[in-house]
Chain A
Amino acid sequence: MKHFEVLGTGCKKCVSTAESIERIAQELGHTVSVEKVTDPARIMEYQVMSTPAVALDGKVLHSGSIPEDDEIADWINSDSVR
């Protein structure tokens, strides 16, 4: 199962990013886990400076805005499942 992390200190955009991922995964019939990471120390480890950012299985895919739906669908559909 893919593990998404939404990095952000708890602003509105971070919440809607997490919701988008969950919604699109459901639409596509995949089960994913989405975790909201609000701990600044962990965000720092990812070297992310603009939030919301999205990491999949420990790798940052996107930062600075709410990702587009298409983009999210690509991540969910990609083969990089561990």
Chain B
Amino acid sequence: MLDVFTNLADWLAYQLLGLDAATRLGTSVHFFIEDTTKILFLLVVMIYVIALARASMNLERVRAYIQQKHRLVGYFFGSGFGAITPFCSCSSIPLFLGFTSAGIPLGITMAFLFTSPIINEVAVIMLWSLLGWEFTLAYIVIGMAVGMIGGMILDAVKGERWLKDFAAKAYQKAAAKAQDDENKVEAPEVPKLTMKGRHEFAKDELKEIVGRIWKWVLIGVGLGAALHGFVPDGWFAENLGSGQWWSVPAAVLAGLPLYSNATGVIPVMESLIMKGLPVGTTLAFCMSTVAASFPEFIMLKQVMTFRLLALIFAILLANFMVVGWVINAVSPWLFSGF
């Protein structure tokens, strides 16, 4: 079915614009047209469909659900809900405090916040269409593992000691009361939604999300297209690809100052992998770009001391490096297609 977009790109790039498929410019333009049309089409359809399904979900219900879970299961659900719950990064502070003041451990809250930028429906749709389902599945597993392990480490070192005072007090108060059932936050009533209500919600979501990300798609695919056309095949393999151990930390550091969301990074990822950059190195680079962003950290400063922030930052970077090394080591067996 997706051949339509290849054909469209063939026609636009080679016939209408008269570009030569053998030139760098020709392949770049072709790549750009094919990927932007395909991605935008899939996004519009899938965001709408997914929004229809989750119209009745909200953060209050997610919180009540996580709170009822055993701590160990909590990491899994924290991270899982981080992946599927839509929320704007400007809400991360109220969300953080909402969870904390309900007595949810810091590590579980952070598992939610770590995973949230890495996995969302937009990222999954794009990965699936560009790199196939095996890769998408591996990405989801890795993204959730980064969140869960990050959260567990934070709790293991009792990170909540270094919350800002007011947040720490709210947490202790809630945690002390956790024995009585009184403190359990009630799951709010599920709002009864008619099909029309769901459609309205999905329409708004679609407008909101596409309005926010279309630029990122263009920038991301533009960069991907440039890489695709102008970097010779096997360039990375020759220069970085033999898996020198330091290429992974180098990729993580290179991703740090870049601030993008998953939408912008995935087309670049596709090109990097096609050009022979090892999969683990590519993933480390992308996660560092997406999940460790300074604007986010500056926001969290309102509820955390510098010490805790630095700790979280270090845990994230260490996780990305481990992901890179492990995936590089196992990828010959996992992704034989790449």
Chain A contact residues, CB within 8 Å of chain B: 7-14, 40-41, 43-44, 47-51, 53, 64-65
Residues on A with beta carbons closer than 8 Å to the beta carbon of B98: 44, 47-49
Q: A15 → chain B, closest Cβ, in Å? A: 11
Determine if A41 and B166 form an interchain contact, defined as CB atoms under 8 angstroms apart.
yes
**Chain B's interface: helix, strand, loop or mixed, by majority?**
helix
| Residue among A8, A10, A49, A53 with max Cβ neighbours from chain B (10 Å) | A49
Determine if A49 and B302 form an interchain contact, defined as CB atoms under 8 angstroms apart.
no
Asked if B45 CB lies within 8 Å of chain A CBs, one says: no
Determine if B97 and A44 form an interchain contact, defined as CB atoms under 8 angstroms apart.
yes
Determine if A51 and B166 form an interchain contact, defined as CB atoms under 8 angstroms apart.
no
Quick one: CB contact mask for B283-318 with A, threshold 8 Å, 1 for yes? Answer: 000000000000000010011000000000000000
Determine if B94 and A50 form an interchain contact, defined as CB atoms under 8 angstroms apart.
yes
Distance in angstroms between the alpha carbons of A65 and B93 in the assembled complex: 15
Asked if B245 CB lies within 8 Å of chain A CBs, one says: no
Determine if B58 and A50 form an interchain contact, defined as CB atoms under 8 angstroms apart.
yes
Chain B contact residues, CB within 8 Å of chain A: 58-60, 63, 87-88, 90-91, 93-95, 97-99, 101, 166-167, 170, 204, 299, 302-303
**Chain A's interface: helix, strand, loop or mixed, by majority?**
loop
Number of A-B contacts (CB under 8 A): 58
Determine if B90 and A40 form an interchain contact, defined as CB atoms under 8 angstroms apart.
no
Partner of A49, one of B95, B170, B204, B299: B95
Distance in angstroms between the alpha carbons of A22 and B93 in the assembled complex: 25
Distance in angstroms between the alpha carbons of A41 and B101 in the assembled complex: 11
A40-B97, A44-B98 given; A11·B59 CB < 8 A? no
Given contacts A9-B94, A64-B91, 11 further A-B contacts (CB under 8 A): A8-B90, A40-B166, A40-B302, A40-B303, A41-B166, A47-B98, A48-B94, A49-B91, A49-B99, A50-B94, A65-B204
